Structure 1
Amino acid sequence: MASHRRPKPAGRARVSIMTAAAAAAVALSAQSGAHADPAPTKDQVKEQVDQLNEQAEVATEQFNGAQAKQQELQKQVGDLQDRVARQQSQVTDLQGGLAEIAAEQYRNGGISPTVQLMLSSSPDNFLTQAGSLNQVGDSQSSALKELQAQQRKLDQDKSEAQGKLAELDSTTQQLKASKDEVQGKLAKATELLNTLTEQERQALRAAEAKSAADAKAQADAAKANTDRASRDSGRSSLSASTGSAPASSVPASGRAAAAIAAAESKLGSPYVYGATGPSSFDCSGLTGWAYAQAGVTLPRTSQAQASAGTRIGTNIANAQPGDLIIYYSGMTHVGLYVGGGQIIHAPHTGAVVRYESATVMPIAAIVRI
């Protein structure tokens, strides 16, 4: 008969060991949690998002450049294809004329060696041999020379068209890569912003709105001072008495004033990469659109716009209303100077066209249009 013995109660030593083990596990768990990366603060998220937006701006200008090049190449390819078609028609007509000569000679007793050579696949070979045969009439020689010239032009244009098509294909691939890069940066920025609470996101938006409002107030004050100085003594007398007018007191020229007015009419419009207006813009899209309203055509990208006028250095004190302010060493952002140390620009995805301090980013060039 089996014995049914009670298990012995755990001794104090055993209980102590188990308690110590449990405490150690809890301690290790707490220690592991303590070493986990803390969630980024609102300011850290903003800094990272700003960096991503800057990188996206670089990719956006690459996208804009590739898009502009693609459009130009498409036009060139179209023009070349039209030219090839016209030249092919001319070559066909010339060949038809030579065929008529051959037919006429056949009806009159056979095709002469001259015409046989003319109808050969090598016009160059014909011209070389025809001189020794001394059988080429003036009209025949002229017709063949014209055929030879047209065929050469046709071959050259076909080759050029093929080269342009290859370049177009490469540019299209570059365009896609730049677009993918922009979208990737923006997706990362969105992910980061989504780690914040709604209250924190509202705080960031409020800070941006306050910065834009302060910039607008400064720009308005500078404009009022400029208008007052212009009414009181005029720019010429001011220059005569001081040697030169301070930058903030220099009124915008006619086309610069028109460009500023156009940009101001778009305050609050959303930033959209690759957009050139009239309802949404990226940075160079805004400056290009604004100057277009003043009758001035600017290149598509910020890098190209940096060479569209006269460089004035990088000191904002020398800027005048209407100047383009180009930012970063890669010249990947541009704004329109409105005076009073302020610009109007399209900052980045998620933002709108707004006023901002002209020195909020590192200035690479000031360009007078």
Structure 2
Amino acid sequence: MAVAVQQLKRVAGKNIVTPKGFKAVGIHCGLKHKKYDLAVLVSEVPASVAGVFTTNAIQAAPLIVTKEVVQQQKQMQAVIVNSGNANACTGKQGMLDALLMQEKTAEKFGISSLLVGVASTGVIGEKMNMKPVLSGIEKLNPVDSLEGSIQFSQAILTTDTVTKNTAYRTEVDGKEVIVAGTAKGSGMIEPNMATMLGFITTDAAIESDHLQNALKAITDVTFNAITVDGDTSTNDMVLVLANGKAGNEPLHPDHPDWEAFIQALHTVSQDLAKMIAKDGEGATKLIEVEVSGAVTASEARKIAKTVVGSPLVKTAVFGCDANWGRVIAAIGYSGAAVNPNTITIKIGEHVVVTNGEPVVFSEELVMLYLKQPEVKIHVELNNGNGKGIAWGCDLTYDYVQINASYRS
């Protein structure tokens, strides 16, 4: 994706209410024992909306409700979010509960229920305890401050160890435009989409159809380029709300500042995707796999994601073992077109394979490199011009422990 625009700047504070006209808050309502578990994001005015959703054939009631808002209304003014319960595989009652959350949120903020999205994350197959949720909605008082955005980002977490926030500013029609985002995600991360919730806000003016096309293209090379454990969830989504409060002329692909906006949206999405991969359950390292020289860019991304998703590669990185054989094996079973006699592999700056054959390298130096918190593996296929990147994490003892006791 072209990123020639140079005016993008990171925003100190990194929060989703920095764009004009947004407020947020998170509280503890009682779905969890102590931690924040209910949150709302509100725009002063109806915002253009775009969304990407899980490809799992089993889809939770909140996701179905939200998808209809995105596709039918193409506008959204509020999103109500809970953690601690996914409201997935809960039958007719689950759908009634999701619709009730939508209705009560609309009543609370004096807006149409058709402009309210609903998102839930947590345990699958347990009916929602609606009493604390409904009383909690009445207690939600969103603010346009850092405190409100932090509370929101905390309330959406499940097994995450850290909140995930980012924001950038750019210029459109000479006016400052902010794009900001927060996300959750730690396990069951095999997007297209996966167990993650992502919320991106911007005060740019842009029609929903153009925003949807932009988000879809960017998702393919950001959120869909991460993997933790290969599982795809039932619930999760990325939403972008654009309320136009910056006052620019509506953006479209022929607008002179289109690329500036795309760069900001791409950078926010990539930041959040990498934060999710880095915070994989039990993870100690972020792994980046870059593939070049593939037949196409999509083939390159396919290979990169296969390598970073390989349990054997992930455990080798955890153990600081320079076992490049696991990397080349993953390349081979990726399903992409490769020539085994032209493959070069580097771990960091250390070349370990040239033209498909081993080269002499220092095991000690590579082991020291693999102890770093971020590990990069580069694969050159010499088979075309396609390039692609994917992100993941190592696989540790703690991952098994966390998922063996998730419901207890």
Q: Answer whether TM exceeds 0.5 for this pair.
A: no
The TM-score with structure 1 as length reference comes to: 0.20
The TM-score with structure 2 as length reference comes to: 0.18
Higher Cα radius of gyration: 1
Which has the larger helix fraction? 1
